[in-house]
Structures are given as C-alpha cells and as structure tokens.
C-alpha cells in the first residue's frame, strides 16, 4: 500500500550545515504490515515519517500510497488516509479544547474546511460509544478540557483520534517515549489492540529493541539516513535483541572496512 522509491532528503542545502538526512530510501509496505523502526538518534526516522505524511517534500524520489503518487500532495490532503501520533502527548491534541471538540476536529481532518466544531447530540453519542470501547473511562469526560488529562490518557486519545476516521496508514513516532514505564506498557497494548482491530498498515518508531522485535511482523533498522536491515516473518519471530545487535555491529564493521579500503 506504501511504496517509496529512491527517496532522499537534504536539510540546509548549500549551507555549511548541509545534511543528507535520507539517502535513497526504498521501502514497500503491504496492507497488513506492522513495521517497527529502530535506529540511533539522527538516523532519519522522523524525517521519513515527515516525508510520508507530507510535512515537507523530498529532494528526490517518489512516494505512492495505494498506487497514487502523493509525493507532491500537501499534508492536509494526505490526512484522509494517514493517522499520526507523536512522541509528545502535547502534539496531536489541543489542550484548551474539550475531548469532544478534539474529536470533532479529528472527524473533519482531511475534509474541506469550513470549521464546524459544534458537537451535535448525535455526534456526542457516537464519541461516547466508541470511547467506551477503549475501556479508559474517557467516555465520561467528553466535556472536560484535554489539558486536564494525564500524559497516558492524552496519548490514548491521540491514537484513538488518529484512527477515528479509518485511515489506511498509521504512523507512530516514539509515542510512548515520554511516558512512565507502566503507562507506556498500557499504551503499547492499546496500540496492539487498535492496530489489530482497524487492520491498518502501521509504521512504529521505537527506541526499545525488545519492543521492536515483540511488536509487528517486520522490523527495519535505520542508520545515517539509510535502511541497513529489514527482517520479517519467521526470521523476525526467531530474532533476539542479541542477534539484532550482532547483525548491526557486523554491518557497521563491514562499512568500516569499506571506508578503510577507500582510504588505501
């Protein structure tokens, strides 16, 4: 459903700080894929998700979603088929608005503007019913401001909003990184449940290798703007963190050897 070809991103082009953040990325993701993404800081993970959701255009390459070329489609037009959750619970929901107002915005996402934020009784009932299924008690807090929720509740609400309009692709960017371990575990099981129920393709960035191997059917490793490792299916199921690290250091060693050869 997602096809990325020869994608490159350069920041601050032409300046002394020019940064080739993504180098010739090729990636094909199937409808039923739940891909976890790991990689060191600055590897280009967030940049990849930003390009997929259209925050900025690439320097080179092409992005297709369901056969449609979206490379130059503006972000708000992609929002119809992409749901996104960020690391910070503050991003993705508006503190000063109530839960139901935030949900009303989620419903409007990707639709023509002409902001109709008024929450009708019918809408409220629908929100209540669907929130009840989350099992977090948020259905009783529809008229409270989102700023009053805890980080975990807010992240749960953001995931819920991200999939509310049934997108086809869900992008999660270290969405449990700023939560305490117990809340993070809860949000992870909620993520699993929601991904399984909504059957959408998912890309989840995490810095936790164990979590990356445990969740989903495929794991990719990024390093310095490239995908250096891609494992799926049975191979992924068998893989341990130790294997992953060994693989990783072998790739690094090979690169070092290649670099040295260049110097000779």
Ligand X SMILES: Nc1ncnc2c1ncn2[C@@H]1O[C@H](COP(=O)(O)OP(=O)(O)O)[C@@H](O)[C@H]1O
Shortest distance (Å) from residue 63 CB to ligand X: 16
Contact partner, 92, from Mg ion, ligand X, none, Cβ < 5-8 Å per class = none
- Cα 22 to Cα 83: distance, rounded to the nearest angstrom: 22
Contact partner, 12, from Mg ion, ligand X, none, Cβ < 5-8 Å per class = ligand X
Q: Which helix (H) or strand (E) holds 104?
A: helix 99-108
Q: Pick the closer one to ligand X by CB: 50 or 191.
A: 50
Shortest distance (Å) from residue 194 CB to ligand X: 23
Q: Pick the closer one to ligand X by CB: 11 or 126.
A: 11
**Size of the residue set binding Mg ion (CB under 5 A):** 2
Shortest distance (Å) from residue 47 CB to ligand X: 3
Max Cα-Cα span within the chain = 74
Contact partner, 44, from Mg ion, ligand X, none, Cβ < 5-8 Å per class = ligand X
- Cα 57 to Cα 234: distance, rounded to the nearest angstrom: 35
- Cα 244 to Cα 176: distance, rounded to the nearest angstrom: 22
Residue 236 phi, psi (nearest 5): -70, -40
- From the list 39-47, 67-75, 133-141, 186-194, the region that binds Mg ion by CB under 5 A is 39-47
Shortest distance (Å) from residue 18 CB to Mg ion: 20
Q: What is the DSSP letter of 147?
A: G
CA contacts within 13 A on the Cβ side of 74: 3
Contact partner, 43, from Mg ion, ligand X, none, Cβ < 5-8 Å per class = ligand X
Q: Pick the closer one to Mg ion by CB: 65 or 222.
A: 222
Q: Pick the closer one to ligand X by CB: 45 or 218.
A: 45
Shortest distance (Å) from residue 220 CB to ligand X: 12
Q: Is 53 a binder of Mg ion (CB under 5 A)?
A: no
Contact partner, 11, from ligand X, Mg ion, none, Cβ < 5-8 Å per class = ligand X
Cα 5 to the center of its chain, rounded Å: 19
Contacts 24+ apart (CB under 8 A), 87-92: 87/173, 87/174, 87/175, 87/177, 87/178, 88/178, 89/151, 89/152, 89/154, 89/155, 89/158, 89/178, 89/179, 90/154, 92/158, 92/161, 92/162
Identify the residue among 4, 21, 29, 46 touching Mg ion (CB under 5 A). Answer: 46
Q: Which residues bind ligand X (CB under 6 A)?
A: 11-12, 19, 21, 39, 41-47
Structure tokens that stand for 232 in this block: 């799926």
Contact partner, 19, from Mg ion, ligand X, none, Cβ < 5-8 Å per class = ligand X
Structure tokens that stand for 30 in this block: 């199937």
Give the list of residues 6+ apart from residue 251 with CB closer than 8 angstroms, or none.
Answer: 223, 228, 229
Shortest distance (Å) from residue 166 CB to ligand X: 27
Applying CB under 5 A, the residues found at the interface with Mg ion are 45-46
């Amino acid at each position: 459903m997602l096809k990325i070809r020869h994608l490159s991103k350069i920041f601050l082009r032409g300046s002394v700080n020019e940064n080739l953040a993504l180098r010739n990325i090729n990636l094909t993701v199937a409808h039923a894929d739940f891909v976890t993404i790991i990689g060191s800081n600055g590897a280009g993970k967030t940049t990849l998700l930003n390009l997929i959701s259209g925050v900025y255009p690439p320097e080179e390459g092409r992005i297709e979603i369901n056969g449609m070329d979206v490379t130059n489609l503006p972000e708000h037009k992609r929002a119809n088929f992409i749901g996104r959750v960020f690391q910070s619970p503050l991003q993705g929901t508006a503190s000063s608005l109530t839960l139901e107002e935030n949900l009303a915005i989620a419903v409007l996402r990707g639709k023509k503007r002409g902001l109709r934020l008024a929450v009708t009784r019918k809408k409220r009932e629908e929100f209540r019913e669907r929130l009840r299924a989350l099992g977090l008690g948020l259905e009783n807090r529809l008229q409270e401001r989102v700023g009053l929720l805890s980080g975990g509740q807010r992240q749960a609400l953001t995931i819920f909003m991200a999939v509310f309009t049934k997108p086809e692709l869900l992008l999660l960017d270290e969405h449990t990184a700023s939560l305490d371990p117990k809340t993070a575990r809860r949000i992870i099981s909620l993520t699993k449940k929601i991904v399984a129920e909504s059957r959408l393709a998912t890309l989840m960035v995490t810095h936790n290798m164990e979590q990356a191997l445990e969740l989903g059917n495929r794991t990719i490793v990024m390093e310095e703007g490239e995908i250096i490792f891609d494992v799926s299916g049975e191979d992924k199921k068998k893989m341990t963190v130790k294997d992953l690290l060994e693989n990783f250091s072998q790739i690094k060693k090979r690169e070092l050897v290649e670099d040295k050869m260049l110097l000779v």
